[in-house]
Amino acid sequence: MPELPEVETVMRGLRPSMEGAVIARADVNRPDLRWPFPERMAERLAGRRVLAMRRRSKYILADLDSGESLLIHLGMSGRMTVSGDPLGQFVHDHPAQEKHDHVVFHMENGARVTFNDPRRFGAMDLLDTATAADHKLLAVLGPEPLGNDFHEDHLVAAFKGRKTPVKSALLDQGIIAGLGNIYVCEALFRAGISPRRLAGDLSAARVKSLVPIIRDVLQEAIAAGGSSLKDFRQANGELGYFQHTFDVYGREGEPCRREGCDGVIGRITQSGRSSFSCGKCQR
């Protein structure tokens, strides 16, 4: 599933063609994805100007001049790609429609934005912009890891007394919004913390060290266009390339890259997800 860097990359890629532009028409080619589309979605989008494109956790939000916001979740295999952009950001001609092109936005500026989702775990909803933060999917989220509300004191307080592994705590969207399996594994490696360690057993100093490390990992991944492991593509159809710099994720059996460490990357399963770490230098 795309994590924060991938969703941020897609959102930034959509901005040149969608922000400030009018949706001339929206083709909604099926009644649902993970859940039913909102009533009259195509009608409510047609003729609306996109005032702003933004991201909250793993969701893309397009604020419309109607006072509604379109919420988009890419799910496991969803892609949003742009073709025919008159601004020259994308050189692709409009492709022939594919089987899993479930929603297509025809922009008045000539761009076409296509949401393709073979596995149909993605989702869209329309919500009131003024109260968007109260939406059931957004109200439960913790602070953005790249925002001012994510800081050392917040993380120390969130971890205090918790008897869950630090890996699970960092994946808790109520503690930090948008973090996923890949970037938690990478952050814990850089911090030298084992994913098995209980969050509440970590010293305040070690917890505080995670804050700048998490930010660095995410910013590096965004700069690299995200990580493409299976389905992820940027809005221009290109792959991300942060996966080429993974220290631990997906490297089971390979040597540790930390200077002076002769350990080997191992894999364990935690809460149904694979955790990759070096058992020698992560404690």
**Domain match, 183 and 109 both:** no
Residue type, 131: T
Low-confidence ranges of the chain (pLDDT < 50): none
Which pLDDT value is given to residue 174?
Answer: 97
CATH number of domain containing 86? 3.20.190.10
Output the pLDDT for position 232: 54
Among 3, 8, 68, 186, the active-site one is: 3
Q: Does any domain span residue 213?
A: yes
The active-site residue, picked from 197, 215, 273, 280, is 273
Cβ 79 vs Cβ 117: under 8 Å: yes
Domain hosting residue 115, numbered range = 4-134
Of 83, 124, 120, nearest to 100 by C-alpha is 120
Domain-ending residue, one of 70, 102, 134: 134
Please give the pLDDT value at position 53: 98
Q: 100, 134, 168: which is the final residue of a domain?
A: 134
Residue 96 is predicted with a pLDDT of 73
36 is catalytic: no
Q: Is residue 278 part of a domain?
A: no
Are residues 125 and 10 located together in one domain of the fold?
yes
Q: Out of 2, 5, 143, 165, which one is annotated catalytic? A: 2
User: Domain tally for the chain?
Assistant: 2
Q: Are strands 112-116 and 79-83 parallel, antiparallel or unpaired?
A: antiparallel
Are residues 96 and 12 part of one domain? yes
**Pair 124, 45 in one domain:** yes
Q: How far apart are CA 116 and CA 114, in angstroms?
A: 6
Catalytic residue list contains 58: yes
pLDDT of residue 240: 59
Q: Are residues 54 and 127 in the same domain?
A: yes
Q: Are 151 and 105 in contact (CB under 8 A)?
A: no
pLDDT at 97: 81
**CATH (domain of 236):** 1.10.8.50
- Let me know whether 120 and 49 are in one domain: yes
Catalytic residue status for 254: no
Q: Is 2 among the catalytic positions? A: yes
Of these residues, 56, 58, 190, 233, which one is catalytic? 58
Query: Would you say residue 263 lies in a domain?
Result: no
